[in-house]
Amino acid sequence: MIHLMINPVLKRDLKFKFRIKKLIPAILLRYICIGLLFLLVILARLGTGILAFLIAEAITILLFTSGSICDAFVSQNGRRDFSELSLTRIKQRGIIFGKLISSNLYNFIVLIISDIGIFAFLSSQKRFDTQGVIYANLVLLTLMFATAILALLFCMIFRRNSLASIFSIYLIIIFLLFNVIIAGLFIERTENQKAKDLLTNSAIYANPIIMLSRSLGKIDLMRTDYMYNIADAIVGRGVIYPDWRISCVIYLAVSCLLLGVVILI
């Protein structure tokens, strides 16, 4: 932790990102995205109130984390900055960690502001059961970390192609968000029971929105009107939800493994 705090790349980037002309537009843009997604979640009847807001916040974090990482590492300015830093005494590992953390600064700020608003709302409603919100924040931080590492991996693979990097990571995000629907298509076309069970469990464990909703309590997101109709192949089989903590551990374990790969590239 101390090493990260004195990381020269991190200190330099934080000074740059805390400028008002950078900070305010970045935060506003994220909240506009959260607002639009919140309306979509309400219209799709996936959730209401705090659940709908947290789902919108999770998707926003997935999208903006990917873009920020790609901008920091494979955009024209990002590549030039990385090359200049590589000529200094700073080790490549230090450069990667510094830029990795600074790229998520605005997402951290959004989380903090949102939590203040959520806890203020709960207090005004005399609802002090905030444990679920705290758990949800752990899920959001896990998703932020996992998305950042995955985006970083593609940035290292497509070192000079920002379009390929951002396309690859967004493709995976879309797959994770809609994997219960995609898995359902394959389940309907196979007769093998073990294959059906594997597809069902994989989709449920990997889906970030299901993991988030379960952290708030025993919320059956798959039984909402919209999901019941379009994911009947999974819902109709009697879904047994995994503990959201197990899903978080899987996300963290895979992310740490990928981070090790990135450092070795």
> For residues 99 and 7, what is the distance between their CA atoms, to the nearest angstrom?
10
Angle between the N-to-C axes of helices 92-102 and 244-264, in degrees from 0 to 180, rounded to the nearest 10: 140
Mean pLDDT score of the chain = 84
What pLDDT does residue 55 have? 94
pLDDT tens-digit map of 216-242: 888 877 766 666 666 666 766 666 778
pLDDT tens-digit map of 60-107: 999 999 989 988 888 888 888 878 887 788 787 888 888 888 889 999
The values of phi and psi at residue 192, to 5°, are -75, 120
Span 173-196, average pLDDT: 82
Tokens 């059906």 sit on residue: 196
Residue type, 47: G
| pLDDT(209) > 80 | yes
What pLDDT does residue 2 have? 41
Span 40-66, average pLDDT: 90
User: What whole-number percentage of the chain has pLDDT above 70?
Assistant: 89
What pLDDT does residue 48 have? 82
What pLDDT does residue 60 have? 95
> For residues 39 and 45, what is the distance between their CA atoms, to the nearest angstrom?
10
What pLDDT does residue 228 have? 63
pTM for the whole thing? 0.88
The values of phi and psi at residue 59, to 5°, are -65, -40
Among 4-13, 62-71, 109-118, 231-240, which is the least confidently predicted range?
A: 231-240
Per-residue pLDDT band for 202 (boundaries 50, 70, 90) equals: confident
Please indicate whether residue 258 or residue 233 has the higher confidence score (pLDDT): 258
What pLDDT does residue 165 have? 87
Among 51-55, 64-68, 151-155, 232-236, which is the least confidently predicted range?
A: 232-236
- The alpha carbon of 57 is separated from its chain's Cα centroid by a whole number of angstroms, namely 9
What pLDDT does residue 231 have? 66
| pLDDT(5) > 60 | no
Span 137-156, average pLDDT: 93
| pLDDT(114) > 90 | yes
Which one, of 264, 190, 265, 216, lies nearest residue 54 by Cα?
216
